[in-house]
Structure 1
Amino acid sequence: MATTTASAAAFVPRLRFPLSESIPRSYYLGHHHAGLREITNRLSSIGLVLECRDYRVPLTSWNPHLDRAIAGRNRIIVYTHRDLGTDSPNSVERDLRRYHAGHNAANSAVAGHRVVFWRKDDPSSTKSLLRHIADAARAVDSLTGVRALVVGMPNVGKSTLLNRLRTHGMAKKASVARTGAQPGVTRKLSSPVRILEGGSFARDAASSSDAGGSLGEGVFVLDTPGVFVPYVDDAEDMVKLALAGSVKDDRIQMEILADYLLYRMNRLDPALYARYSPPTNEVNDFLAGVARRTGKLKAGGVPNVEAAADFAVKQWRTGQLGRFILDDVNDDAIRLKEIAREGGGPTSLSQARKREKEMRRERAMNKQKAV
């Protein structure tokens, strides 16, 4: 025991994560482009937008292209998976709230936005969001009710959010949107689903104020396909999104995702994986420990590192291997994201592919120069 404690005390985690050139920089599929076009076409009849961002990657899941498409609209930004980020400092939520408050103050000429940090399994969190929705809908004051869109990156939790809103906002309990562990379950806009009625139930249960207009016939929400960014400049951002589940698991090797998870756990607290392995920077040692502990062995007792990597990643996604965020949230990081939003970037699949080819060519030229 003393030896283990000493080795843990002497352990020095990696300062940087080695990024493979094989990591793709795009996951912008045809239905993403079609979904963004359909969202844009529907905006004229939409009174409210619920924009979902993943709290585990609060900056990386911020889609500048989607942000520009819905700019100026009455919006509620919902940070999903807040319950999966409880190991990270509360200063993360505080800094994000401060940023959004400053953004609203600096852009008073256009529609501001509310911000909600949503916990899936906390009914009070869902009811708080419903109060914000009801208040925003009453400000529209439409006799026919309000149509809202729920938008965001793939697999950020949009359909789950819609189901919870329906369950807590309506007297009749029912799930209305398909959900799944992989992105791409929703591929086109859904039919409008009522989450709040226009009568006294909505006012009593969901309104934070008696002031304002009427909900009319209620609030109706349309689920939309997740929309990925056409091109990801930073390969580490692509790994973060894949680890969080916004990219299908066959696009980046699970061993790479498990290695990045190990890197992040070491930066926070190596004790997070103590049941599988002593502190280590070697992903194969970590995965061998996972394989032995969970019985994921090949013939002759050889650790099945592929199965172990898949297991470790899914454990983290469900909060069973730490509940922490992957982004470093600070003023500089937020400002860089703002610059990306203002500066644009590839806006189509063909432009994204062209950008990726240029990057590969540049890396090859740099290698030749080094030789």
Structure 2
Amino acid sequence: MAGTSSFVQKLGNSIKKVSESKSSSWWYNHHMRAASRAIFQRIPLVDFVLEVRDARIPVSSAYEQLRSFPSSSKKIIILNKMDLANNSNTKEWMAYFKEQNYVPYAINSHNKDNIKEFLNFLQAKVRDLRRNAHLSNTHTTSVMIVGIPNVGKSAFANSLHQIGRITAAEKGKLKQATVSPHPGETKNITSLKIASHPNIYILDTPGILPPKIVDIERSSKLALTGAIADSLFDQSELAQYFLSILNLSHEYKKWEKISGELELDKKVNQIMNDHTQDVVVRAVRQALFKDISAFKGNLDDEKDMVQLIEAQFTTLRKVFNVNSDSFEAANNIVAGKLINLYRTGRLGHYTLDSLQET
């Protein structure tokens, strides 16, 4: 979209510099290189591969290493974080992957019922495998979970493990995979049991990015959804990119019914410092709706979009109760809070990859 192109260019170029810098200790570091080799060696040996992608970016979050292996029924594409994506778009992407002869499954790894349904689906796949391959009853099925950083692999693995511990012997001390909101926290391949009779084990693996990402639009989407460490680029650039998407979407129109001015007494001012409070989220939605609705410029024009976003930053500094002598520092604080609200679904549900692009 024309209104977002300049923000994509700016953010994407910043990320590209980091990915090409040999001094970067995060991008494709020795942990990723070692894990990449280990995963590559094990993929042919497991019974199933669950490629976890972010439902908001079903193509941009693809795991590059699987390109070396032909598509087969042993690979299942998991569209995780479906609760943060546009529901209609997720259904369209599911249909698209099925047309391409993939096996897709959309999940929310924090929804127990959703995980139970997937576990039943996976067990049916295992039974088919055992029957078709004439495997013995003692055969242990291994399932490897792979994906880029921060798509929710470890949360998914833990949820399967918790739901799948069905026998008394397995209800002891819970072994868990490391879960963190920061990408790149999983360093080793972890084995977790998720079912008995027959035994099924999953292997949770570290998130791996390719050594370089040439496509700046893809890298911008990865940054916005949290696959790339926030410390590697300017948070204000990231927030500007998000606001350009919001301003061109229909999400803000859902906030029209939010009415009433907040009485900014001392108690409310204290609350406003915590951007996760419901009253603050409502105030943010209300303020953004007013700014976008009142704007008379052309949002397909870069200069007009920049003008609106500058006005929105000014508004959000007041809403978030940010006081700083440094204009840049204040904007970074606003940016951090805004991006957190986006990533937790408090500011709408967006699917950033479009089928038209594909």
Question: Which of the five TM-score ranges fits, normalised by the shorter chain?
Answer: 0.7 to 0.9
Amino acid at match of 2:340: K
Secondary structure of the residue aligned to 2:178 is: coil
Q: Distance in 1 between matches of 2:57 and 2:82?
A: 10
Q: Distance in 2 between matches of 1:30 and 1:15?
A: 34
Task: Tell me which residue corresponds to 1:203.
Answer: none
CA-to-aligned-CA distance 1:14-35 (integer Å, 9 cap, x gap): 2633412742223433322222
Task: Tell me which residue corresponds to 1:45.
Answer: 45
Are 1:151 and 2:132 counterparts?
no
Match of 2:237 among 256, 262, 268: 256
Match of 1:95 among 64, 71, 92: 92
Task: Tell me which residue corresponds to 1:347.
Answer: none
Q: Distance in 2 between matches of 1:72 and 1:325?
A: 26
Secondary structure of the residue aligned to 2:194 is: strand
**Residue 155 to residue 303, structure 1, CA distance change in 2 (3 Å):** closer
**Residue 286 to residue 196, structure 1, CA distance change in 2 (3 Å):** same
CA-to-aligned-CA distance 1:124-169 (integer Å, 9 cap, x gap): 2111210221122223324232011100011110000011111112
1:314: Cα distance to partner? 0.7
Task: Tell me which residue corresponds to 1:201.
Answer: none
Q: Distance in 2 between matches of 1:300 and 1:231?
A: 34
Task: Tell me which residue corresponds to 1:57.
Answer: 57
Are 1:276 and 2:292 counterparts?
no
> Structure 1 regions of 5+ residues with no counterpart?
1-12, 105-112, 199-214, 335-371
Are 1:140 and 2:129 counterparts?
yes
Please list, as runs of the form range in 1=range in 2, the aligned pairs for 1:95-174 lying within 5 A after superposition: 95-104=92-101, 113-141=102-130, 142=135, 143-171=138-166, 172=171, 174=174
Secondary structure of the residue aligned to 1:250 is: helix
> Structure 2 regions of 5+ residues with no counterpart?
20-26, 256-283, 296-304
Q: Distance in 1 between matches of 2:323 and 2:15?
A: 30
1:89: Cα distance to partner? 5.6
**Residue 75 to residue 303, structure 1, CA distance change in 2 (3 Å):** closer
CA-to-aligned-CA distance 1:180-237 (integer Å, 9 cap, x gap): 11111101211x2101111xxxxxxxxxxxxxxxx2xx11011101011222222121
Secondary structure of the residue aligned to 1:23 is: helix
Task: Tell me which residue corresponds to 1:227.
Answer: 208
1:102: Cα distance to partner? 2.3
**Residue 89 to residue 163, structure 1, CA distance change in 2 (3 Å):** closer
Task: Tell me which residue corresponds to 2:278.
Answer: none
Q: Distance in 1 between matches of 2:47 and 2:327?
A: 59
**Residue 70 to residue 31, structure 1, CA distance change in 2 (3 Å):** farther
Number of matched pairs? 290
In the superposition, the TM-score normalised over structure 1's length comes to 0.72
Amino acid at match of 1:289: T
Amino acid at match of 1:186: T
Please list, as runs of the form range in 1=range in 2, the aligned pairs for 1:6-21 lying within 5 A after superposition: 14=3, 16-18=5-7, 19-20=9-10
1:64: Cα distance to partner? 3.1
1:98: Cα distance to partner? 2.7
In the superposition, the TM-score normalised over structure 2's length comes to 0.74
**Residue 242 to residue 301, structure 1, CA distance change in 2 (3 Å):** closer
On the 8 A contact 1:50/1:148 being kept in 2, the answer is: yes
On the 8 A contact 2:145/2:203 being kept in 1, the answer is: yes
Task: Tell me which residue corresponds to 1:185.
Answer: 185
Superposition CA RMSD, Å: 2.4
1:245: Cα distance to partner? 0.5
Q: Distance in 2 between matches of 1:220 and 1:300?
A: 52
Q: Distance in 2 between matches of 1:225 and 1:94?
A: 28
Secondary structure of the residue aligned to 1:262 is: helix
Task: Tell me which residue corresponds to 1:202.
Answer: none
Deviates more, 1:26-35 or 1:159-168: 26-35
Secondary structure of the residue aligned to 2:287 is: coil
Q: Distance in 2 between matches of 1:44 and 1:232?
A: 26
Secondary structure of the residue aligned to 2:202 is: strand
